[in-house]
Structure 1
Amino acid sequence: MDIIMPQLGETVAEGEILAWHKAEGDKVKKGDVLFEISTDKVAMEVPAMEEGELTKIIAQVGEVIAVGEPVGEMAVEGEVANPKSTEPASIIDQQVSASADVNKPATEPSSFSKTGHGPLSPAVKYLSREHALDLDEIDGTGSNGRITKRDVQAYLAQQNVGEVPAVDEEALALMSPSVRRLVTEHDVDVSQIQGSGKHGRITKEDVLDYLDNGGKVASQPVTASPPAKAEPQPVSITGEEVAFSFMRKQIARQMSSSKDNAVHVAQGMEISFDEVEAVRQQHKAEFKQKYGASLTPLAFIARAVVKALQAFPHLNGQVSGEKLVVSAPVHLGIAVDLNHKGLVVPVIKDADTMNVSGLARKIAELAKKARENRLTPDEMSGATYTLSNNGGAGTAFTTPIINHPEIAILSIDSISRKPVVVNMNGRESLGIGSVGMVVQSFDHRAVDGAYSGAFLQRVKSLLESHGWQAEL
């Protein structure tokens, strides 16, 4: 059986092999860690789903593999190993691996060759359809004699059919399993479909629209062509070259996409943390002893943000095309730095059901799991609003980039003792107070500055005057 790159969340399209824990020929027990992977969302260990022998490693350490592509081969009990297989298969149906989508049917006859050559990938079906091939004439070099994309391309080259059409493997890899099944069942040429999903991803609705139009591309409104992206400029200095890590590349891709798609506007507001600090200092030692977690200002800010989002719901959700999808529950993303090697954004689901104490414990739990690479895909997806905490670095203010397609993100900077104006019975004087700045970046397509400003004012009011003692 093939060991495939698992689907780690709906938007994850590829992963990098960080390490193999087993070598070719090693016996493997169910649950043993086979390999480690890193995606743009999470780093994790992948366990064996069956007992058997690791017969072949296809993807080497450092390789980036699309979801659904084989990374190795394993002979399970009752199955004969095929050590002569030298060709990795293309994207295969998820049910070939035990790590497949649990909602899929046990069998899908349409994805298998009727001639006994094993499951056929969408790429193989596309090429065979385009050239009316008899697959009985092609020798499969994949696992258990499966015909691979390279087998078909080699056969076509021998037949001198001319230029072999390219297969949009990236588009196929970005599809969810259900969309891939739909494409395969109806022999859809994905190159004819314009994806409307995130990063141009082809969605189920795109495929159904294509089929409803008789296999023709639905008419699209005429829009101005986006400006061509500038080519990387050659550097004019000499020095050490530091290649981007896989995580760094994914962060760069996500941040560039956000800047390209969202209309960023930033607003900042200075807030007094005197009330928060008084309560925090009173309870932090007892809280640490009782729960093993620190009672940080971030927990109070998170609570104020959640309460303010309930009053200003158009900041809590996502932008989809020309509409705003408003979420009833608040799923709060918390950006976590990984010792300057990148960052991840675990999500506190249903944060609106928690008080300060609950939020403080959940923030500590997720941050610990993030730094130990133990986050699950579910803990990395579904955010409706994000907090970015830069206060530990001592920054005065930061203008964050929206975690697109979310609507807004709030940056929290350092809280420090500063001179402040104190009003006592109408008389003003100078005093010392705990002051910090919060900055919200929002998508101007979804809301306006007045709405964002009113939200920040609500956050400020809560932090300065909420009854925090009752939440601890």
Structure 2
Amino acid sequence: MITEFKMPKMGESISEATIISWLKNVGDFVEAEETILEVATDKVDSDVPALVSGVITEIRFQKDDVVEVGTVLALIDSDGVQEARSQKQEVVEKSSITPSKVEAPQPEIRNSQLATRNSDAFISPLIISIAQKENLSIEELQTIPGSGTDGRLQKSDVFNYLKNRKYPIQSKPITDNRQPTTSSYPKPKINFVEGKDRIVEMDRMRKMIADHMVYSKQTSPHVTSYIEVDVTNLVNWRNENKDKFQEKHNEKLTFTPVFVQAVAKAVADFPMINVSVDEKNIIVHNDINIGMATALPSGNLIVPVVKNANEKDLVALAKDVNTLAEASRNNNLKPEQIQGSTFTISNVGTFGSLMGTPIINQPEVAILALGIIKKRPEVITTEKGDEIAIRSMMYLSLSFDHRVVDGFLGGSFLRKVGDYLEQFDANTTI
């Protein structure tokens, strides 16, 4: 029986993945649950196992190909599994010489590679925008073989074509009448000094992050609100308890789990901040899953997720936060650990920033930035009247999507987070 080996679903918002490498070749025998492929998304790299045992009879895509979720990557023949296992064992026993690998055939091309036009081909707005930037004509665009479903043209097809393009078809450049260009401002010239300046190509993850950030700014009208909070009680409590916490629970006690706890409580108080926008509909999420924007050693950014944060105590949150942070540092996050966030926080104070104006992590509608905690003299009210005291102060900034979050909701939510941090119970047990 021939089984189709398909690109698996990697997450709710992930529609495609890039092939990093095949660990098996055509003709190789594989066991069920054995890893045969490594793929990468804009979030994380993953191993993909075979679902059945058998012999690989066909591989349709190769390294660096971008493939849509659900697309058939290879075919596995599960007939004669026992015979194949026996042959494999016999080869291992009789010889220690590694057999030569069978070269995988080139991916099946759904469209002819000849420069013939397909005037009926569907061209998406994304492809149109790429064509405009690269000065591709409609005639030339229609000659590019499409690797998507039913020969549909994908952005990877266009980029691969541009890489090898030598003789462009002369015609009018493609125009999109639906979005006429209103600005004639020329692109600023970049001064490049040969021998002094250098060019560094963006890696795959940085390109994905760049696209995600631009998409977010174009999709959501961002508004940012700020408040200042006095976290003296929280700072003193942590300083007094971090060693005891480590000894008792074998976990580091950072500020992050406290921040996650405060945000989860405030989200429960204001559930309309825990939503996504689907055209004219608002999707209100029941689960409160807090994403933590985390810097990787490479300098790129990833957002691991604390699931159901409102249902966990401080000890459980500390364990989750530490586990996710460690996995991020070691580039060992699993796909399920970076999926499903409904609200994101970004601790910009880690890098010494006083405050920040974070970009919303789509498809969420708000993101909270936490600035550095600094001691300074503040006027406080006591029983004796106003006094000047040394307090630990911190700025919070909330960027929100003004399509569905107005100033009242955004400001009220932000103030509630601040209240939970300022009113942190110094008698909290560990």
Place the TM-score, normalised by the shorter chain, in its bin.
Answer: 0.7 to 0.9
State yes or no: 1:248 paired with 2:248: no
Amino acid at match of 1:149: R
What is the match of residue 455 of structure 1?
Answer: 413
Distance in 1 between residues matched to 2:296 and 2:103, nearest whole Å: 42
Residues 1:346 and 1:232: Cα distance change in structure 2 (over 3 Å): farther
Alpha carbons of structure 1 residues 289 and 57: separation in structure 2 relative to 1, 3 Å: farther
Q: For residue 14 of structure 2, what is the aligned residue in structure 1? A: 12
Structure 1 Cα separation of the partners of residues 29 and 60 of structure 2: 17
Aligned to 1:410: 368
1:88 aligns with 2:107: yes
Q: Which residue of the partner structure matches residue 95 of structure 2?
A: none
Match of 2:347 among 389, 400, 405: 389
CA displacement at 1:69 relative to structure 2: 3.5
Q: 2:327 aligns with which of 369, 373, 383?
A: 369
Q: 1 CA distance for matches of 2:282 and 2:236?
A: 39
Of 4-13 and 267-276, the range deviating more from structure 2: 4-13
Match of 1:35 in 2: 37
Q: CA deviation at 1:259?
A: 0.4
Q: Given residue 425 of structure 1, which amino acid in structure 2 is its aligned partner?
A: E
2:397 is the alignment partner of 1:439: yes
Segments of structure 2 that go 5 or more residues without pairing to the other structure are 85-101, 127-148, 153-177
Determine the C-alpha separation between the residues in 2 that align with 1:228 and 1:21: 50
Q: Secondary structure at the match of 1:6?
A: coil
Residues 69-123 of structure 1: CA deviation (Å, up to 9, x unaligned): 4445555453899x7984534xxxxxxxxxxxxxxxxxxxxxxxxxxxxxxxxxx
Contact 1:44-1:374 at 8 Å conserved across structures: no
Maintained 8 Å contact 1:17/1:60:
yes
* SS of equivalent residue, structure 1 residue 414: coil
1:357 shift after superposition: 2.0
Partners of 1:318 and 1:50 in 2: how far apart?
37
Q: What residue identity is the alignment partner of 2:387?
A: S
The Cα offsets for residues 43-91 of structure 1, whole Å up to 9 and x where unpaired, read as 212223333445665544433333234445555453899x7984534xx
CA distance in 2, matches of 1:18, 1:84: 17
The alpha-carbon distance between structure 1 residues 371 and 469, as it changes in their structure 2 partners (threshold 3 A), is: same
User: Which stretch has the larger CA shift, 273-282 or 53-62?
Assistant: 53-62
Tell me which amino acid in the other structure corresponds to 2:268: Q
Q: Any conservation in 2 of the 1:16–1:38 contact (CA below 8 Å)?
A: yes
Match of 2:53 in 1: 51
Shift of 1:468: 5.1
User: How is 1:57-456 mapped onto 2 (pairs within 5 angstroms)?
Assistant: 58-72=60-74, 74-78=76-80, 86=105, 88-89=107-108, 149-150=110-111, 153=112, 163=118, 165-166=120-121, 225=179, 235-238=190-193, 239-456=197-414
Give the direction of change, closer, same or farther, for the CA distance of 1:270–1:84 in structure 2 (3 Å limit). closer
Give the secondary structure class of the aligned counterpart of 1:280. helix
Rounded Cα–Cα distance in structure 1 between residues aligned with 2:186 and 2:344:
31
User: Which residue identity does 1:280 align to in structure 2?
Assistant: R
- Contact residue 59 and residue 107 of structure 2 kept, 8 A: no
- Report the Cα distance in structure 2 between the residues aligned to 1:85 and 1:300, rounded to whole angstroms: 52
Matching residue's letter, 2:294: V
Amino acid at match of 1:463: L
**Structure 1 45/84 Cα, relative in aligned 2: closer, same or farther at 3 Å?**
closer
8 A contact 1:16–1:246 mirrored in 2: no
Deviation at 1:305, TM superposition (A): 1.3
User: Which amino acid in 1 is paired with 2:18?
Assistant: E
Give the Cα separation in 2 of the matches to 1:231 and 1:377: 41
Identity %: 31
Which letter maps to 1:307?
K
User: Structure 2: how far apart are the matches of 1:305 and 1:163?
Assistant: 53
* CA contact 2:25–2:104 (8 Å) conserved in 1: no
CA distance in 2, matches of 1:304, 1:226: 46
Q: Residue 360 of structure 2 contacts residue 399 of structure 2 at CA under 8 Å; is this kept in 1? A: yes
One-letter code aligned to 2:46: M
Unaligned runs of 5+ in 1: 90-147, 172-187, 192-223
Report the CA distance shift for 1:430/1:331 in structure 2 as closer, same or farther (over 3 A).
Answer: same
Task: Indicate if the aligned counterparts of 2:62 and 2:107 stay in contact, CA closer than 8 A.
Answer: no
CA RMSD of aligned residues (A): 3.5
1:347 to partner: Cα distance: 2.0
Residues 452, 163 of structure 1: alpha-carbon distance in 2 compared, 3 angstrom cutoff: closer
CA contact (8 A) 2:26 2:103 kept: no
AA matched with 1:339:
P
Equivalent-residue separation in structure 2 for 1:236 and 1:75 (angstroms): 57
For 1:23 and 1:170, the matched residues in 2 are separated by: 37
Using the size of structure 1 for normalisation, the TM-score is: 0.67
Q: Could you tell me which residue of structure 1 aligns to residue 161 of structure 2?
A: none
In structure 2, relative to structure 1, the CA distance for the partners of 1:8 and 1:417 (3 Å cut) is same
